[in-house]
Amino acid sequence: MAQQNKNARPHGPMGGMMAVQKAKNFKASSKKLLKVLRPYFPAIIIAFLFAIGGTVLNILSPKYLGNMTNVIQDGIQLDSNYQFLGFAVDMQKIANIGIMLIIFYVVSAIFTYVQGYIMNELTQKITQSLRTQISQKINRLPLAYFDNTSIGDVLSRVTNDVDTIGQTLSQSLSSMITAITTIIGVPIMMLTISPLLTLVPLVSIPVSLIVVMLIVKFSQKHFKNQQEYLGDINGLIEEIYSSHNIVRVFNGVEKATEDFQEKNQKLYGSAWKSQFLSGLMIPMMNFLGNLSYVVVCIFGGHLALNNKIKIGAIQSFTTYIRQFNQPLSQIASIANVLQSTVAASERVFEFLEEEEQPTEEEKTAKLTHVEGNVRFDHVSFGYQPNKEIIHDLNVDIKAGQKVAIVGPTGAGKTTIVNLLMRFYEATKGDITVDGVSIFDMKREDCRNLFGMVLQDTWLFHGTIRENIAFGREDLSPEEVEKACSFAHIDHFIRSLPNGYDMVLDETANISQGQRQLLTIARAMVQNNPMMILDEATSSVDTRTEILIQNAMDKLMEGRTSFVIAHRLSTIKNADLILVMKDGNVVEMGKHEELLAKKGFYHDLYMAQFDEQNA
Amino acid sequence: MFSLLRKMNPIYWVCIVVIIVSIFFHVQIDLTIPDYMGDIVNAVMTKQPVSMIVSIGWKMLGLCLISVLLMVLENYLATMVGSGLARHTRQRLFQKVESFSMEEINQFSTASLITRSTNDIQQVQQVTMMVLRIAIMAPIMAIGAIIKIIGKSGQLSLLTMVAVICLLLVLTTLFLLVSPKFTRIQKSNDMLNMVTRENLTGLRVIRANNAEDIQEEKFEQVNSMLVKLNLFVGRAMNLLNPFMNIVMSGLSLSIIWWGASLMNANLIDLGSVTAFISYSMQILSSFMMLTIVFIMFPRGMVSAKRINEVLHKDTKITDGIGLEKVYESHPELQGTLGEVEFDHVYFKYPNAQEAVLHDITFTAHKGETIAFIGSTGSGKSTVINLIPRFYDVTSGSIKVDGINVKEYKIEELNNKIGYVPQKGVLFRGTIASNIAYGKEDATKEEIVAAAKVAQAHSFIEQFPEGYDHEIAQGGTNVSGGQKQRLSIARAIIKKPEIYIFDDSFSALDYKTDKELRSQLKNYTQGVTTFIVAQRIGTIMDADKIIVLDNGKMVGMGTHEELLKNCQVYQEIAYSQLSKEELDGTAK
């Protein structure tokens, strides 16, 4: 059903068209969307009633305006030879109809506004709650979900998809009601005025409909192409611009330009065709409007001569035919609008329905005093259910020991961190701290056991103080500053404009090394009983690296620590080295023991450092 | 915007003139239509025979048809001009950016150049088409219709004027009220994006600190701010439609009402009143269109200005006289290969206070390996970026094979250089096409050979399609280390005289790094090599190591020499290797 996920829709009479996504399961997703809307049904129904009321008044008024003209016609004074003498219009009647019409217009405007107001309030409520739900959902999903999903994907659900739903709620729904009311109401009004004259639009409306559909159909193809070629050329521009150095030094400018020209030409072709075709809509509708006007006038004139209708009827009819054309093009686009709305809500619900981490209300185990004895007891784990990478791991770590995790890039060193912090759950076996299984604790209690400093230094938009005291609003300024001086960053912070109250954002000029020190200070104030650290490898200059190392050493003092180690000195001093390869722990022991074993660690070590020994 | 049009093929100017003429005529025709309608009304009122109505009808329809044909023509030409302008400007912009050196690129920033070449162009295209259709038509229409009605009835014209003023007042008020909020909505949207992005990138830290609630609270703050703004804008914008309806229907009603009393006074007939209503509607809609133009036009102007900024920027780095000319006057320089000489080079970024490089002087002979080391910001990468003229020296000179780099044609200079950037950069295409980027006519064997040297062959073989494995845009479907190795293969296949490795081994593990370098050494015999690195292990066996500190050379020599006499080098070395290991090597 969704082989083609891009489609186009006409968007208003100007014909700006957009790509439309189709839902995978239209029925199920629409049901879910309706379920979200259910609490608001009374409000929606009221809004719809107002919409219908406003439209009905709108439809009624041309008839009365026509009646006014009839009154004028009645005032025509003719002599016996049908020669025009002058007017004697009954101004009282005119005033009566006029006042009624004023009431119609004002009430209709109020109705329209009330309808828009209700839908606007309701849309904002619903989109706000959807965004909140998504935001909360993020925190309840297991990490595994995010390791397999791109950030952009989740982001676009929070923004684009919710926006699409909002747009439909606030605009498309009520304009659909208005359109339907008009399409039903206008023919009724025409029939009440003159059933005979109604024959004219009966012919002209299908003609308009066919014209609209033809234009939409032809331009759709080119809009789709335009969207595609635009994506193509923008992709090329992005690629070439961001690789400027390479393109230049490899003399690739000419080739890039050729590529570009070809894509540019294609885009041009589809761009003008789609714009041209959709631009035909207005003149065509204009012409059809005028054509039916003339036909109504001729036909109506004939009837009027035979005194079957009055001139006001003709006037009302021409207004009605115009009123009828707009909803026609709206209805043509509504199918596509609904499609993309349901597709958007499908993506939102898909996310909201992802399986969450199990709740842990019943878990009560808690450590009041932590020694720091950590035991991996027959632990097995795999990121995919059928692909176990850690097999039956048994490690016994005594309080205060330092554990180094080493291995080549991509060997899965962070897996151990993931298991300890319960970012991922071991599939078999048990991990205990001081004899208590971390699986018997609440996740948050387990995570409170460990402080963490990762290479990927995460700072958020906020003051430096907030960044350091993250999650611990109870800390005094002195405690924060003390941690910073331990982390050798106090001096730097004080040299910044606004010091500890400087707001960190994209423009803040903080080097990678300083970021690292800030995250160390953060770990410092948390004061957790055990530590998980990732040593810096590159992109930090030597002096800062010494500071970082020194700060990390302080963090590890007297604490059981797990270090993803890159530096030889750390590795050599470790009480235990876990050697990882292809996701699994392949060797463990002390440095000398492992070297003597002449296994994988030996190879790794030699490859890293033998040049110096050669 | 007009300056963009000025650069275009004159045929487009002809198009524009034709559009204007055509609009003028079609508006004239449209302006007579209500007269015919009025005539028909009068004919019906005065019980004229149907044949007369038919004949008026034919005339009217004939004119309508001409008007429609003219509109189609305008539409055709306007879309041609709009898309043509977009195509032409996009092309000019692209070529301009391609001629830029890093200096100009950095001045604008890559991200901004991308937006200028994509969004801004789209914006200009849309506004151009709009201007060509609406902005020209609306004033002609308004003026024509005003002339028509003034002759018909002064009093009713006054009524129309009041309606127009009402309309303009309300539209401007609404616009002034709402448009600053739009900017704030945009900002709130960005904030919302930012907080969500923050949440997603910081998942592990947030969970480790049990700080989920804090993040949710932050999100809620932005969320309710956004909702508040949206509510305000929604409430205001919802006024628009009902209000315009009231103005338009109110005006028709008033014209008939007032018209009736004028008719009683024998000042006007019913046909004129009907025609009058049509004209006043045309006036109202012209003014509405003009308002839209006034809202849209500045956006187009902003985009056009941003495009022009790029187009008017001239690159400072241009081709020199070329090798041919140089050899004519200095035939003795022919045949030198792989010599690079820095002579008292200073470099300062434009607008910077201080120079990044001070007095850099050294010579690299054919076949030597020269390494640069130093802390971040010491200027290592800057030094080697000067060789392919990503930037030009501020003073001093750089000679390649005895000739100043500024005298080469850029292409000639590039032919001598194999450059590998720090971040592996790949293009959309296959692995093979990416490697062959360095040499378009490369054979399959050459590609495989280059990949083998770059330690890429083994992982390439693991892809089901091997060398035909598709690389996604930005190379997102291969790892950082794989990207680096492919970038290296791309430089290798070129068989240049000079290699430049800008910290190109950082994403490789030690084992691969070492294997790659030993292979490379065999393969690149006789080729001059420049390496920038963070890891001492990567550069220890270079012929010459240059130690940089704050842009100054603080040491030059071999590993052993520097360990003895360069303090900065010692610091770096000790932070990475233990003392025993260094002592072992320093002997």
Confidence of residue B376 (pLDDT cuts 50, 70, 90): low
Helix (H), strand (E) at residue A585: strand A584-589
Bigger pLDDT: A48 vs B514 = A48
Which of A246, A311, A546 has its CB closest to that of B425? A246
Q: Give Dmax (Cα) for chain B.
A: 121
pLDDT of residue A609: 53
Determine the Cα–Cα distance for residues B135 and B142; give it in Å rounded to an integer: 11
First-to-last C-alpha distance (Å) of chain A: 66
Q: Which fold has domain B1-152+296-313?
A: ABC transporter transmembrane region fold (1.20.1560)
Determine the Cα–Cα distance for residues A589 and A597; give it in Å rounded to an integer: 10
Q: For chain B, percent helix, then strand, then coil, each to nearest 5?
A: 70, 10, 20
Asked if residue A438 and residue A308 are part of one domain, the reply reads no
The helices-and-strands tally (H runs, E runs) of chain B is 24, 12
CB A37 within 8 A of CB A126: yes
Which of A89, A268, A472 has its CB closest to that of B83? A268
With beta carbons under 8 A apart, name residues in chain A contacting B473. Answer: 235, 238-239
Q: Residue A92: inside a domain, yes or no? A: yes
Asked if residue A397 and residue A347 are part of one domain, the reply reads no
> Does residue A447 belong to the interface with chain B, where contact is any CB pair within 8 Å?
yes
Confidence of residue B331 (pLDDT cuts 50, 70, 90): confident
B364-399 as b/e: b if 16+ CB within 10 A = beeebbbbbbbbbebbbbbbbbbbbbbbebbebebb
pLDDT at B571 over 80: no
Model confidence pLDDT, tens digit, residues A458-493: 888 889 998 898 878 788 888 899 989 888 888 888
Interface mutation target, options B200, B248, B508, chain A, most CBs of A under 10 Å: B200
pLDDT at A48 over 90: yes
Which of B49, B261, B578 has its CB closest to that of A568? B578
> Does residue A300 belong to the interface with chain B, where contact is any CB pair within 8 Å?
yes
pLDDT of residue A537: 56
Structure tokens at A345: 């809500």
Asked if residue A347 and residue A431 are part of one domain, the reply reads no
Which of A87, A572, A603 has its CB closest to that of B263? A87
Residue in chain B closest to A170 (alpha carbons) equals B234
Which of A257, A272, A612 has its CB closest to that of B577? A612
Per the rule left: phi > 0, alpha: psi between -120 and 50, beta: everything else, A150 is beta
Determine the Cα–Cα distance for residues B495 and A369; give it in Å rounded to an integer: 65
DSSP 8-class letter at A463: E
Asked if residue A305 and residue A390 are part of one domain, the reply reads no
With beta carbons under 8 A apart, name residues in chain A contacting B216. Answer: 132, 135-136, 139
Which among A111, A108, A113 has a CA at the least distance from the CA of A61? A108
Please compute the mean of the pLDDT values over residues A331-347 and round it to a whole number: 82
Instruction: Provide the 10 A C-beta neighbour count for residue A31.
Output: 12
With beta carbons under 8 A apart, name residues in chain B contacting A75. Answer: 260, 263-264
Please judge whether B50 and A84 are an interchain contact, meaning their C-beta atoms are less than 8 angstroms apart: no
Asked if residue A247 and residue A165 are part of one domain, the reply reads yes
Pairs of CB atoms within 8 A across A/B: 423
With beta carbons under 8 A apart, name residues in chain B contacting A609. Answer: 537, 577, 581
Determine the Cα–Cα distance for residues B562 and B473; give it in Å rounded to an integer: 43
**Weakest mean pLDDT among A186-190, A531-535, A558-562:** A531-535
Query: How close B282 gets to chain A, by Cα (Å)?
Result: 13
pLDDT at A102 over 70: yes
pLDDT of residue B275: 85
Residue in chain A closest to B512 (alpha carbons) equals A607
Model confidence pLDDT, tens digit, residues B244-277: 889 999 999 999 899 888 888 888 888 888 888 8
pLDDT at A511 over 70: yes
Asked if residue A381 and residue A328 are part of one domain, the reply reads no
Please judge whether A239 and B196 are an interchain contact, meaning their C-beta atoms are less than 8 angstroms apart: no
Please compute the mean of the pLDDT values over residues B280-285 and round it to a whole number: 90
CB B373 within 8 A of CB B570: no
Interface mutation target, options B204, B459, B497, chain A, most CBs of A under 10 Å: B204
Residue in chain A closest to B51 (alpha carbons) equals A298
**Sheet strands (E) in B493-562:** 498-502, 528-532, 544-549, 552-557
Please compute the mean of the pLDDT values over residues A214-225 and round it to a whole number: 84
For chain B, what is the radius of gyration of the CA atoms?
36
Query: How close A428 gets to chain B, by Cα (Å)?
Result: 23
Asked if residue A384 and residue A344 are part of one domain, the reply reads no
Helix (H), strand (E) at residue B398: strand B395-400
DSSP string, A226-286: HHHHHHHHHHHHHHHHHTHHHHHHTT-HHHHHHHHHHHHHHHHHHHHHHHHHHHTHHHHHH
Please compute the mean of the pLDDT values over residues B391-412 and round it to a whole number: 90
Asked if residue A212 and residue A106 are part of one domain, the reply reads yes
Interface mutation target, options B53, B174, B267, B518, chain A, most CBs of A under 10 Å: B53
* Beta-bridge partners for B364: B340
| Of the residues A352, A383, A405, the one at which a domain ends | A352
CB B495 within 8 A of CB B450: no
Please judge whether B193 and A256 are an interchain contact, meaning their C-beta atoms are less than 8 angstroms apart: no
Asked if residue A143 and residue A63 are part of one domain, the reply reads yes
As a whole-number percent, the residues of chain B with pLDDT over 70 amount to 96
Bigger pLDDT: B8 vs A127 = A127
| Of the residues A352, A384, A414, the one at which a domain ends | A352
Please judge whether A116 and B238 are an interchain contact, meaning their C-beta atoms are less than 8 angstroms apart: yes
> Does residue A49 belong to the interface with chain B, where contact is any CB pair within 8 Å?
no
Range of the domain at A487: 374-613
User: Of A290-299, A599-608, B161-170, which has the strongest mean pLDDT?
Assistant: B161-170
Which of A247, A248, A271 has its CB closest to that of B83? A271
Model confidence pLDDT, tens digit, residues A548-566: 888 888 888 889 999 988 7
Helix (H), strand (E) at residue A533: strand A530-534
Q: What CATH number is attached to the domain comprising A589?
A: 3.40.50.300
Please judge whether A159 and B192 are an interchain contact, meaning their C-beta atoms are less than 8 angstroms apart: yes
- The CA-CA-CA angle for residues A308, A312, A317, to 5°, reads 90
With beta carbons under 8 A apart, name residues in chain B contacting A108. Answer: 242, 245
DSSP 8-class letter at A73: H
Residue type, B66: I
Which of A89, A102, A124 has its CB closest to that of B260? A89
Residue in chain A closest to B242 (alpha carbons) equals A109
Query: How close B136 gets to chain A, by Cα (Å)?
Result: 16
Instruction: Provide the 10 A C-beta neighbour count for residue B45.
Output: 22
CB A320 within 8 A of CB A190: yes
Determine the Cα–Cα distance for residues B203 and B197; give it in Å rounded to an integer: 10
Interface mutation target, options B97, B205, B231, B567, chain A, most CBs of A under 10 Å: B205
Which of B105, B189, B201 has its CB closest to that of A151? B201
* Beta-bridge partners for B42: none
| Tally of structural domains, chain A | 2
Determine the Cα–Cα distance for residues B332 and B261; give it in Å rounded to an integer: 104
> Does residue A244 belong to the interface with chain B, where contact is any CB pair within 8 Å?
yes
Query: How close B328 gets to chain A, by Cα (Å)?
Result: 25
Determine the Cα–Cα distance for residues A126 and A348; give it in Å rounded to an integer: 13
Q: Give phi and psi for B404, each to the nearest 5.
A: -55, 135
Q: Residue A362: inside a domain, yes or no? A: no
By residue count, chain B amounts to: 587
Three-state helix/strand/coil letters over B213-269: HHHHHHHHHHHHHHHHHHHHHHHHHCCHHHHHHHHHHHHHHHHHHHHHHHHHCCCCC
Which among B499, B424, B540, B441 has a CA at the least distance from the CA of A610? B540
> Does residue A461 belong to the interface with chain B, where contact is any CB pair within 8 Å?
yes
With beta carbons under 8 A apart, name residues in chain A contacting B475. Answer: none
Query: How close B198 gets to chain A, by Cα (Å)?
Result: 6
Please judge whether A242 and B114 are an interchain contact, meaning their C-beta atoms are less than 8 angstroms apart: yes
Residue in chain B closest to A67 (alpha carbons) equals B256
Determine the Cα–Cα distance for residues B382 and B374; give it in Å rounded to an integer: 12
pLDDT at A403 over 90: yes
Query: How close A547 gets to chain B, by Cα (Å)?
Result: 11
Model confidence pLDDT, tens digit, residues A242-279: 888 888 888 888 888 999 999 999 999 998 898 898 88
Confidence of residue A509 (pLDDT cuts 50, 70, 90): low
Query: How close B564 gets to chain A, by Cα (Å)?
Result: 15
Determine the Cα–Cα distance for residues A89 and B80; give it in Å rounded to an integer: 54
Asked if residue A337 and residue A396 are part of one domain, the reply reads no
Determine the Cα–Cα distance for residues A489 and A477; give it in Å rounded to an integer: 15
pLDDT of residue A96: 94
Structure tokens at B540: 């220890």
Asked if residue A298 and residue A175 are part of one domain, the reply reads yes
pLDDT at B529 over 70: yes
pLDDT at A9 over 60: no
Average pLDDT of chain A, as a whole number: 83
CB A251 within 8 A of CB A171: no
Determine the Cα–Cα distance for residues A325 and A380; give it in Å rounded to an integer: 68
Asked if residue A85 and residue A33 are part of one domain, the reply reads yes
Query: How close B54 gets to chain A, by Cα (Å)?
Result: 6
With beta carbons under 8 A apart, name residues in chain A contacting B244. Answer: none
Determine the Cα–Cα distance for residues B102 and B108; give it in Å rounded to an integer: 10
Model confidence pLDDT, tens digit, residues B7-19: 777 888 899 999 9
Residue in chain B closest to A150 (alpha carbons) equals B200
Q: Find all residues with CB under 8 Å of B572, minimum gap 6, and list them.
A: A542, B373, B374, B375, B536, B547
Sheet arrangement for strand A374-381 = A390-397, A374-381, A428-433, A436-437
> Does residue A127 belong to the interface with chain B, where contact is any CB pair within 8 Å?
yes
A157-196 as b/e: b if 16+ CB within 10 A = bbbebbebbbbbbbebbbbbbbbbbbbebbbebbeebbee
With beta carbons under 8 A apart, name residues in chain B contacting A238. Answer: 114, 118, 473-474
Determine the Cα–Cα distance for residues A469 and B386; give it in Å rounded to an integer: 44
Pairing between strand B544-549 and B369-373? parallel
pLDDT at B202 over 90: no
With beta carbons under 8 A apart, name residues in chain B contacting A230. Answer: 122
Which of B33, B194, B209 has its CB closest to that of A470? B209
A386-411 as b/e: b if 16+ CB within 10 A = eebbbeebebebebbbbbbbbbbeeb
Structure tokens at A191: 């029939």
Confidence of residue B222 (pLDDT cuts 50, 70, 90): very high
With beta carbons under 8 A apart, name residues in chain B contacting A545. Answer: 575
Residue in chain A closest to B79 (alpha carbons) equals A272
pLDDT of residue A40: 92
Which among B351, B377, B190 has a CA at the least distance from the CA of A542? B377
Which among B97, B138, B102, B99 has a CA at the least distance from the CA of B121? B97
Determine the Cα–Cα distance for residues A586 and A389; give it in Å rounded to an integer: 11
Interface mutation target, options A111, A236, A244, chain B, most CBs of B under 10 Å: A244
Q: Residue A186: inside a domain, yes or no? A: yes
Q: What CATH number is attached to the domain comprising A128?
A: 1.20.1560.10
> Does residue A526 belong to the interface with chain B, where contact is any CB pair within 8 Å?
yes
Structure tokens at B574: 């000790």
Determine the Cα–Cα distance for residues B587 and B581; give it in Å rounded to an integer: 11
CB B502 within 8 A of CB B488: no
Pairing between strand A402-406 and A390-397? unpaired
**Cα B201 from chain centroid (whole Å):** 26
Structure tokens at A26: 């239209």
Query: Which residue intervals of A280-310 are DSSP H helices?
Result: 281-305
* Beta-bridge partners for B555: B547
* Beta-bridge partners for A84: A78
Q: Residue A245: inside a domain, yes or no? A: yes
pLDDT at A118 over 70: yes
